[in-house]
Amino acid sequence: TMTGVLAEVMPDHENRLAVLSGPSFAGEVAREVPTVVASAADDPEVAAYVQQVFATPFFRVYTNPDVVGVQLGGAVKNVIAIASGIVDGLGLGLNSRAALITRGLTEIRRLGIKLGANPHTFAGLSGVGDLVLTCTGALSRNHTVGQMIGEGKSLDEILSHMKMVAEGVRTAKSVYNLSKKVGVEMPIADSVYAVLYEDLNSADAAYQLMTRSLKSELEDVE
């Protein structure tokens, strides 16, 4: 995680680190559109300090002690957003996209629990809030990448024409490696990785997800 990296670089400030995450397209924040996010820190006083510093009448901040969960939701949602874009690019409809987002959240939650996060975090702003925005918003670069892939464009072609980074492209590889390392099943994230890096056809990926072995919706849910 980013706080883990910062803790290594600045060990004297390890207990003073905080993260802000939630459904917050930068352009809307800059225009003072009402936005709500979470401030997470191991030290509740640090989280509260960040809350007070950033809070305005148009930027509301809640505190959350779950640093791992808040960061994980903010990162992995970008991978699911690529998948959501692929669904839209393939023209698979709103039912498919809603199911994709829901099961994507299940995967994020599953990984988070394995890494010690609070499962309730993923029902909050940095979880389902950020996920829904990034999977459906027209300003989402990750969704745009996925949509173009679903429409038949290659990743190299897409990235060569993008002026801003779509974090999910790189995060897909990190999430794939991490999920294998800790033994967490993430079929949607795996499919995004395969489409991006193993040349799996996006329509074939969708078919494979729909024809996986049948199971309980609550399997592996704690």
5 pLDDT higher than 80: no
Q: In this prediction, what percent of the chain has a pLDDT beyond 70? A: 92
Three-state SS sequence of 23-39: CCCHHHHHCCCCEEEEE
User: Residue ranges of the domains in the chain?
Assistant: 2-66, 68-210
Same fold, 2-66 and 68-210: no
CATH topology of domain 2-66: Rossmann fold (3.40.50)
**59-64 and 35-41: which strand pairing?**
parallel
- Which element (helix H / strand E) includes 58? none
**Tens of pLDDT along 155-207?**
999 999 888 878 999 999 999 999 999 999 999 999 999 999 999 999 999 99
- Please provide residue 14's backbone torsions phi and psi, each rounded to the nearest 5 degrees: -55, -40
pTM of the complete model beyond 0.85 = yes
CA gap 193, 207 in Å, rounded: 16
According to the model, what pLDDT value does residue 8 have? Answer: 44
**Phi, psi (deg, nearest 5) at residue 19:** -130, 145
Query: Whole-angstrom Cα distance, residue 158 to residue 143?
Result: 12
pLDDT digits (tens, 9 = 90+) for 110-125: 999 999 999 999 999 9
List helix spans (H) across the chain.
2-9, 26-30, 44-54, 67-90, 94-114, 130-136, 141-150, 155-160, 167-182, 187-197, 202-210
Is 77 part of the annotated catalytic residue set? yes
Of 77, 153, 181, 215, catalytic: 77
Per the prediction, the chain carries an average pLDDT of 93
Phi/psi zone of residue 203: left (φ > 0), alpha (ψ -120 to 50 degrees), beta?
alpha
Query: In Å, what is the CA distance from 29 to each residue of 56, 59, 214?
Result: 11, 8, 42
CATH topology for the 68-210 domain = N-(1-d-carboxylethyl)-l-norvaline Dehydrogenase; domain 2 (1.10.1040)
